[in-house]
Amino acid sequence: MELNNNINNSDIIKLPRSITHLEFYDEKASLNLDKLNIPETIKHLKFGSSIKLSGEFGKESSSSSSSSSSSSSSSSSSSSSSILSSFKNLINNNKNQHRTQNNLTFEKEDIKPFNNLKSLKLENTFLLKNPNYFPKQLKHLSLQFGKGEITKDFKISKGMIPENLESLTINMEYNSPTIYIPPTVKKFQVELGYFFFNSEILKFLPPSITILNIIRTPKQNLEPFKKNVAESLRKLVVVQDFNHYPAYLNSDLKSLTTLDLRYCTNYCNGFNISKFPKTLTNLKLPNRLILDDSNSAGFPPSLTRLFGSPSHFSLKFQDNSKLINATVTSNSDHVDFTNFYKKFTNIQSLTLFQLNFPNNTYISTLQILSETLTNLEIIDCSFNSDELKTLYFLKSLKSLRINGLTTGSILKDFKDISPFPDSLIILDLEYTNRELKMKTEEIRILDSKGQVRIAPYIPLVLSNEILPPLLKVLILRGDIRPNIKLPFNSNSLDHIFLHCALPLQGEFASDPSSHHLIRHFNNTADEHPYNHVISKIYNNLRKIIIKQ
C-alpha cells in the first residue's frame, strides 16, 4: 500500500491488518520519526525518494546539547530512506515519554521510536548522524547512498552504526581505506553497481564473518583474505572482472561450502578444478569459463549442487552420485549432452536455462531420471513438442516451471489430454513470446522437426482437461492472453497465483468459483534482485508445500 501527500498518523494506525507492506511517496511529504506510529502488522516500511525525515529523539535539553544541534540540521534531507522491518509493534509515543517545550526526551533509555526494528535500509544519512534512533537489537543494516549524499572522505566509524549487527550491506561510493564493522557481523555485502569502493576495507573484516558477498569488485584483482577470515567463511559470492587466477581461492578457505562466481566476466581460463576448496557443496560458475581437469581427481566429492555449462558437467567428478541439484546453462560450446542423465543418476532438481539447440537430448532422455527428479525448470529454452512428450513419464515430478516458448510448444499440441505427470503439485506457466507481432498477429514457433516457422497466433488453451489431477498450486505469468476454460477443478486446486501483467482478469472475474483461489503478484515480490530468472514465489512454494 502506498501513502502520499497529507500523511496522517491516524490513517496509518487504522490500516487493515492484512497490510504488511507500507510505502511513502511524495516530494512534499515530511515525517517526524518521533511521532510515527506503525501498526504491529506492518513488516516492511519504505520511505520514497523525496520524503523528508526529522526527529529530536535522544537529545539533551537545549542548554546542554549544542553539540547535537548539527545533527538535527540533517533532518530536512530529501533523499530517500527505506526501512524493511521484521517486528511485532512499534511503541506508542504517548507512553514512557514526556514532551518539553523545545525537545522530546524519554524516561527509559531503551525506549525508541523503532524499538522493535530488526532490519533497516537507509538511503540517506539522517540516522547515521542521529544514531540514537538505532535500536539495540537491530540485526540487519543496509546503507545505500547516492552521489552527493556523502563526501569523498566519508567513512563508517565506530559509534555510527549499532554494535550488535549480524549483517551489514553497503551500496555507495566508498573511497576510504578504513571501515568499522562490528565484531558480531556474520554477513558483509558490497553492492556497488557502477560505484567504486576501496578494497582495502576487506582487511577490516572481523573473523565472525561467515558470508561475504562482493557484488562488484574494483578493477584490480582481489587479494587473499586474512587467514582468520578465510577460515571462517562458509559462503563467498564474487562478481568480478578478472584476467588472472583468483588469488583468494587458496588453501585457507577450509570451511567454504558455497562459491558463487557465475556473474564474473573476462575470465581467467584454464585454471585447474583441483584449486577449488575441498569442502564445497554448492558451486556456481560462469557459463563461458574454461576449466582444466587434467592431473586432477575431479570436482570435490562433497559437491551436491552445480550451476554451469555442459562443458563443466562433462569434467571429472570424484563422486557423481552426490550431485542432486543441477542448473545447465548456455550450450554454445556444443558439448554432447547425451550421457548427462546416465552420469548423474540421483538428480532431484534440474534447471535448463538458455539451451536452444533442439537436436540435443536435454528433454527426450529425461525419462532416465523418472524415479528421482522432483523439480524441473525450463527457462528460455527451445524444444519441440515431440521432445516434450517425455514430461508425462516423470512420475516423481512434484513441481514444474516452464517459460513462454516451452509453454507454447506444449499447449498447442495438447488440448484434451494432460501432458503433465499425475504427480505434479505445483505448475508455473509463462504465457509470453518475445517474437509476437501485434499488428499481423503472427508468432514464431518450433515445428516437430525443430525448425522455426511463422504461424498465426492462436491463444493457448488452458483447461481442466490438461491440468494434473493432484495439482494444488497454479502460477500464471506473462504478457499475452491465453484461452482459459473455467471452472478449474476446485477439488485439488488450492491457489492460483496471477501475475499482474497477465491479461486474465476478465475471465476470472466472471467466474465466482475461482475468486477464493486467486492471489496476485508482481515482479517486485517475485524477482531475485540480481537474477531475474529466479522466481521467489515458485521457490518459496516448493519449500512450504513440497518441503524442498
Tell me, what CATH number does 498's domain have? 3.80.10
Choosing from 86, 107, 138, the residue where a domain stops is: 138
Choosing from 123, 138, 153, the residue where a domain stops is: 138
- Position 28 in a domain: yes
According to the model, what pLDDT value does residue 350 have?
95
* More confident position, 45 or 58: 45
pLDDT-based confidence at residue 392 (cuts at 50, 70, 90): confident
Average pLDDT, whole number, for the chain?
A: 75
Total domains, the chain: 2
- Position 284 in a domain: no
**Residue 209 and residue 167: Cα distance in Å, rounded?**
9
The mean pLDDT value for 262-286 works out to 83
For the full predicted model, state whether its pTM sits above 0.85.
Answer: no
C-alpha cell at 218: 574494483
φ/ψ of 20, rounded to 5, equals -115, -20
Q: What domain range is 396 assigned to?
A: 348-548
- Position 493 in a domain: yes
Percent of all residues in the chain with a pLDDT value above 90, rounded to a whole number? 26
Q: Of 150, 102, 98, which Cα lies nearest the Cα of 124? A: 150
Give 3-state DSSP helix, strand, coil % of the chain, rounded to 5.
20, 25, 60
pLDDT-based confidence at residue 115 (cuts at 50, 70, 90): low
The mean pLDDT value for 496-516 works out to 75
- Position 316 in a domain: no
- Position 13 in a domain: yes
pLDDT-based confidence at residue 520 (cuts at 50, 70, 90): confident
- Position 341 in a domain: no
Q: Of 389, 391, 385, which Cα lies nearest the Cα of 358? A: 385
Q: Of 548, 213, 268, which Cα lies nearest the Cα of 398? A: 548
For the ranges 29-38, 40-49, 269-278, which has the lowest average pLDDT? 40-49
- Position 176 in a domain: no
φ/ψ of 144, rounded to 5, equals -130, 100
Contact 410, 386 (CB under 8 A): no
- Position 208 in a domain: no
Q: Of 94, 92, 2, which Cα lies nearest the Cα of 45? A: 2
* More confident position, 70 or 296: 296
Contact 165, 107 (CB under 8 A): no
Choosing from 72, 106, 138, the residue where a domain stops is: 138
